[in-house]
Amino acid sequence: GQQVMQIPQYQHVQEGEDFTTYCNSSTTLSNIQWYKQRPGGHPVFLIQLVKSGEVKKQKRLTFQFGEAKKNSSLHITATQTTDVGTYFCAGPAFSGGYNKLIFGAGTRLAVHP
């Protein structure tokens, strides 16, 4: 079945360094969503990308959707301790007669002050 894979699984950075997480799908995606989960918290929707090659920015976060719509990335510039958490990508997969949202395993970001 379709898979959504994320790398790396963990990332430790010093505060102020940049961070990137990558998401890859085995099939073309109609859209990709990104979520953030703080330690002890729940996933919170960040953004959705729909168009091939789309780039969206939210302050220090830059989200990109690949030209082939099979991969995506999230880049954080100059990380802060508030960026700590797990970042999940999610994409649709046709399964059981409908499009189900499949979550990647997440990238856990630790930021050292």
Partner 1 sequence: NAGVMQNPRHLVRRRGQEARLRCSPMKGHSHVYWYRQLPEEGLKFMVYLQKENIIDESGMPKERFSAEFPKEGPSILRIQQVVRGDSAAYFCASSPQHSSNQPQHFGDGTRLSIL
Asked if 24 touches partner 1 (CB under 8 A), the answer is no
Query: Please, which residue, 39 or 113, has the CB nearer to partner 1?
Result: 39
User: Exposed, middle or buried by CB within 10 Å (0-12, 13-18, 19+), for 14?
Assistant: exposed
Per CB under 8 A, which region of 18-26, 51-59, 74-82, 84-92 contacts partner 1?
84-92
Q: To which H or E segment does residue 15 belong?
A: none
Per CB under 8 A, which region of 20-28, 44-52, 54-62, 66-74 contacts partner 1?
44-52
The contact set with partner 1 (CB under 8 A) reads 30-31, 33, 35, 41-45, 48, 50, 88, 91-93, 95-96, 98-106, 108
